[in-house]
Amino acid sequence: MDKKNMKDSAPGKTVSKESAPKKYTNYPTVIDHSTEVQKEWAPWVRQGLWDIKGYRVVKGPAGGGTIDESKKNLKEFMVIDRTEASLYSHSYGLVSPFFLGLLEGKLKGTKCPNCGTVYCPPRAHCWNPECRMTETEWIDMPLRGIIHTFTVQCLAAAPFEHILPFSLGWVQVEGADTAICTMLHIPYHDLFIGQKVNLKFRPKAERKGDLMDMYAVAVPGQKVPKWAVLQSDEKQLNRLDEATAATTEFIKKRYGLDNSKRGW
Amino acid sequence: MSERRVAVCGGGIFRPDIWRGECAEEGVAIAYRDMLKSIPGFDPADVDVLMMSYFSDHLNQQLCMGWIIQDYLGFHNKPGYRVEAGGSTSLDAIANAYFMIKSGMFDVILVPGWEWMSEVDTATTNMMIASAADTDWDFTVGGYYNAYYASLEVRHMQLYGETCEDLGRIAVKNHNAATHNPYSQWRMEHGTAYITLDDYWKSKLVCWPYRTLNNALISEGAACLLLAAEDKVKRYTDNPMWITGVGLGTDSMRPGDRLVDFPFSSFRDKAAIYPDFVKRPKTPYPEMANFGSMHAAALRAYAQAGITDPLKEIDVAELFTPYDGVELCFYEDLGFCGRGQGKNVVREGLCEYGGELPVSMSGGLTAQGHPVGATGLYQTIFLYYQLAGKAKTKYGQNALQVKNARRAMVTGHGGTACQGGVIIFEKD
């Protein structure tokens, strides 16, 4: 990253050709929400270069054979701490209008002019073998759908840990033939497959143009059907309550966040 | 394609554990030594090709790790290939070695496999593995395979009515089997005591309905496998395990797209059982409940091996099941029972030790261990000793030996069933 390029450009500003990173200088940058981020991340990436930061010595079971054999053969191993950090500038490709749509609070899909299949998430080319990679056309999707399936998470990868416990699922948007992976801001006691949902967007200032900008809420007034897989087994529901309560406590301790009051 | 047969002639193990002090090349070397010890007739000069099985580059910050392995084992003038197919990596490595020998081009292939998965912390390992999911569309929401698989299982539960207890029964079966395996990670962690459903309910909930005991382990470990053409087999073993069927299959990257899964539209008949209270997608099989890639793979492998009733005709199986709901669904997709009947297979104990078709008696991914590139090799070695009738010589006096086993099956599967494979083995 050229230092000169990081100056003078505020987020959201349309930038001049000269201030864009080198690889893009042949093409106009239309919107720039990146330069400030790159500036912020540069020291992290530098710190995360493959540098050896520390070490420890661990005495552990060594060699081949069974557990018993290797337990008799203890050796000292030197373990180093080596870092890696990167900032990837990834293009969303031909389906970029979908993500730009999220920024505007709009949900877009694509439709094959040949077979009529509606994709949400969109595909730029139809995957029906009969359509021979026909280019699809953009359509606006309604902000409504039904839950195809879901889970309740008590553990998550690092970037999502602080919002635990939460539910995610796949929503089949009205009119779409496929389902899209979405956060469900619905208390799991109410959650069921086939549930009607409305799709909402985070406040405009918080949107980043990725799928986390959008979430589903339940259409009010729906009853949990008797056959619902989670609620039909009271024991399971109780066990899940215990697990999510423990998770909420863990997040409180670790991040100082009380996720029990947000209503989902 | 040549008519000659291809056999697995044995293998070696460097047992999986949450952390191994040795680094990957040393682990592979130890597994290779273990193989040398058990195959006295083997001469390294016989090896035509190395087919290296490993999944990840980013877990160890090392590209082209295979070059270190071929050099460390002293094979660095031979052809070497890396095979990578997510969770299906080791199955695909065996399949590719088979294709090469079957083509008549090569006679003897060594398959080293490994994975070192604990160099980053567990949450990061999970994140890095989940980057095998679509990073634009699925990974960005939750970023966690457990959650994706849990969602698939919730769908299957809703359609077909298995319960959390059924998933618990599978967990108990596999963990208790692993206590008989002196190379298993569960036995290292836990010892040899059996667990019960009570212990299962006490294990931590990860993503509903999956608890810790339902999930694959994170492991470091290695294994080596030797494959040879018919005319070379006698040098190595009196108990060749012949490969009589190899089937591979794939499915969409994003599971949400399987609601309109065109290549599977001819599989509609498989969806005969579909409850009417749930909306039926355009293509009801496999949608987000079953594993079409595995079904397609199984059909191909069974056709080659002449199998029509797998539950009856296969004697022992090692299934690639990173989550226990996957095992239940595989019973259906591999044709042990009809769609929606997996729960009955569990409840009747058909796939337990002593049942019609014992499954994952090594402990499988959740209890033996899951260093991705080595996992399928461990399972294949386990089957080799099962068919040879010599499980006790390798795994000790308490090993679970399936009696009179003649035909075995191993599977591989990667992504959210984006890729799957089935190999059928037979003894003479």
Please state the φ and ψ torsions of residue B120, each to the nearest 5 degrees.
-105, 165
For residue A70, which residues of chain B lie inside 8 Å, CB to CB?
15
- What single-letter amino acid sits at B310? P
Cα–Cα distance for residue pair A187/A251, rounded to 1 Å: 18
Per-residue pLDDT of B73-83, as tens digits, reads 999 999 999 99
Cβ–Cβ below 8 Å for A70 and B127: no
Cα–Cα distance for residue pair B6/B425, rounded to 1 Å: 10
Per-residue pLDDT at A17 exceeds 80: no
pLDDT of residue A42: 87
Per-residue pLDDT at B42 exceeds 70: yes
pLDDT band at B1 (very low <50, low <70, confident <90, very high): low
Minimal Cα distance from B221: which residue of A? Answer: A64
Per-residue pLDDT of A225-254, as tens digits, reads 999 999 999 999 999 999 999 999 999 999
Of A67, A82, A210, the CB nearest to B140: A210
Per-residue pLDDT at B280 exceeds 50: yes
| Nearest alpha-carbon partner for B367 in B116, B113, B204, B182 | B182
Per-residue pLDDT at A8 exceeds 60: no
HSE-up of B360 (CA within 13 Å, CB side)? Answer: 33
Cβ–Cβ below 8 Å for B144 and A153: yes
C-alpha distance from B136 to closest chain A C-alpha (Å): 8
**Mutant choice from B141, B148, B179, B220 vs A, greatest count of A C-beta within 10 A:** B141
Of A146, A158, A168, the CB nearest to B124: A158
User: How many residues are listed for chain B in this entry?
Assistant: 428
Cβ–Cβ below 8 Å for B144 and A62: no
Please state the φ and ψ torsions of residue A167, each to the nearest 5 degrees.
-115, 140
Pairing of strands B6-17, A180-184: unpaired
Of B15, B61, B151, the CB nearest to A149: B151
Per-residue pLDDT of B399-414, as tens digits, reads 999 999 999 999 999 9
Domains and CATH numbers, chain B: 6-120+221-233 (3.40.47.10)
Per-residue pLDDT at A16 exceeds 70: no
Cα–Cα distance for residue pair B125/A10, rounded to 1 Å: 35
Cβ–Cβ below 8 Å for B396 and A66: yes
Please, where are the H alpha helices in chain A? Answer: 3-6, 35-47, 67-71, 96-103, 234-255
Per-residue pLDDT at A4 exceeds 50: no
Minimal Cα distance from A57: which residue of B? Answer: B21
Cβ–Cβ below 8 Å for B141 and A182: yes
Minimal Cα distance from A128: which residue of B? Answer: B262
Query: In the structure encoding, which two tokens stand for residue A64, read together?
Result: 């081949």
| Nearest alpha-carbon partner for B145 in B326, B345, B299 | B326
Cα–Cα distance for residue pair B218/B123, rounded to 1 Å: 11
Cβ–Cβ below 8 Å for B151 and A211: no
pLDDT of residue B398: 97
| Nearest alpha-carbon partner for A188 in B223, B330, B150, B261 | B150
pLDDT of residue A18: 58
A137 pairs with which residues across the strands?
A111
Per-residue pLDDT of A105-140, as tens digits, reads 999 999 999 999 999 999 999 999 999 999 999 999
pLDDT of residue B342: 97
For residue A166, which residues of chain B lie inside 8 Å, CB to CB?
142
Minimal Cα distance from A60: which residue of B? Answer: B21
Per-residue pLDDT at A13 exceeds 80: no
Q: A168 — contact with chain B (CB < 8 Å)?
A: yes
C-alpha distance from B78 to closest chain A C-alpha (Å): 26
Per-residue pLDDT of B258-277, as tens digits, reads 999 999 988 866 667 888 89
Q: Is A45 exposed, middle or buried (0-12, 13-18, 19+ CB in 10 A)?
A: middle
What does the pLDDT average to over B157-185? 98
| Nearest alpha-carbon partner for B264 in B287, B241, B247 | B287
Please state the φ and ψ torsions of residue B329, each to the nearest 5 degrees.
-65, -35
Helical packing angle, B145-160 and B324-333, nearest 10°:
50
pLDDT band at A84 (very low <50, low <70, confident <90, very high): confident
Work out the angle at residue B393's Cα, subtended by the Cα atoms of residues B387 and B397, and round it to the nearest 5 degrees.
Answer: 110
What does the pLDDT average to over B218-233? 98
C-alpha distance from B283 to closest chain A C-alpha (Å): 9
Cα–Cα distance for residue pair A27/A13, rounded to 1 Å: 16
Per-residue pLDDT at A264 exceeds 60: yes
Minimal Cα distance from A213: which residue of B? Answer: B141
The answer to whether A48 and A86 are in contact (CB under 8 A) is yes
Cβ–Cβ below 8 Å for B208 and A229: no
Cβ–Cβ below 8 Å for A157 and B152: no
ipTM of this model?
0.93
What does the pLDDT average to over B221-235? 98
pLDDT of residue A11: 47
List the 224-243 stretch of A: residues with Cβ below 8 A of B.
225, 227-230, 233, 236, 239-240, 243
For residue A116, which residues of chain B lie inside 8 Å, CB to CB?
none
Of B150, B208, B262, the CB nearest to A127: B262
Cα–Cα distance for residue pair B363/B367, rounded to 1 Å: 5
pLDDT of residue B142: 78
For residue A58, which residues of chain B lie inside 8 Å, CB to CB?
21
For residue A227, which residues of chain B lie inside 8 Å, CB to CB?
158, 275, 277
**Cis (ω within 30 of 0) for the bond into B286?**
yes
pLDDT of residue A12: 54
Please state the φ and ψ torsions of residue A242, each to the nearest 5 degrees.
-60, -45
Q: Kindly report the average pLDDT of chain A as a whole number.
A: 91
**Mutant choice from A52, A67, A89 vs B, greatest count of B C-beta within 10 A:** A67
What does the pLDDT average to over A55-73? 96
Q: By percentage, how much of chain A surpasses pLDDT 90? A: 75
- For B377, residues 6+ apart whose C-beta sits below 8 A from its C-beta are B11, B53, B90, B93, B94, B111, B113, B223, B224, B225
User: How far is residue B104 from each of residues A195, B44, B230, measured CA to CA in Å?
Assistant: 57, 20, 11
What does the pLDDT average to over B125-145? 89
pLDDT of residue A14: 57
Of A75, A154, A211, the CB nearest to B205: A154
Q: A35 — contact with chain B (CB < 8 Å)?
A: no
Cβ–Cβ below 8 Å for A194 and B260: no
What does the pLDDT average to over A136-148? 98
Query: In the structure encoding, which two tokens stand for residue B406, read together?
Result: 């003649």
Q: What is the DSSP string of A183-244?
A: EE-S-GGG--TT-EEEEEE--GGG--SSGGGEEEEEPTTPPPPTT-TTTT-HHHHHHHHHHH
Cβ–Cβ below 8 Å for A127 and B21: no
Handedness of CA B351, B352, B354, B358 (dihedral sign): positive
Query: In the structure encoding, which two tokens stand for residue B146, read together?
Result: 């457990």
Query: In the structure encoding, which two tokens stand for residue B110, read together?
Result: 């060594």
For residue B168, which residues of chain A lie inside 8 Å, CB to CB?
none
Q: A114 — contact with chain B (CB < 8 Å)?
A: no
C-alpha distance from A117 to closest chain B C-alpha (Å): 8
Exposure b/e, B306-331, CB count within 10 A at least 16 = b: ebeebbebbbbbbbbbbbbbbbbbbb
Per-residue pLDDT at B22 exceeds 50: yes
For residue B279, which residues of chain A lie inside 8 Å, CB to CB?
146, 172, 194
List the 46-85 stretch of A: residues with Cβ below 8 A of B.
50, 58, 60-68, 70, 75, 77, 82, 84
B320 pairs with which residues across the strands?
none
Work out the angle at residue A86's Cα, subtended by the Cα atoms of residues A83 and A87, and round it to the nearest 5 degrees.
Answer: 155
Of B22, B209, B259, the CB nearest to A172: B259
Residue A259 CB neighbour total at 10 angstroms: 18
Helical packing angle, B164-178 and B324-333, nearest 10°:
100
Q: A208 — contact with chain B (CB < 8 Å)?
A: no
Per-residue pLDDT of B307-349, as tens digits, reads 999 999 999 999 999 999 999 999 999 999 999 999 999 999 9
Q: Kindly report the average pLDDT of chain B as a whole number.
A: 96
Higher pLDDT, A15 or B241: B241
**Cis (ω within 30 of 0) for the bond into A187?**
no
Q: By percentage, how much of chain B surpasses pLDDT 70? A: 99
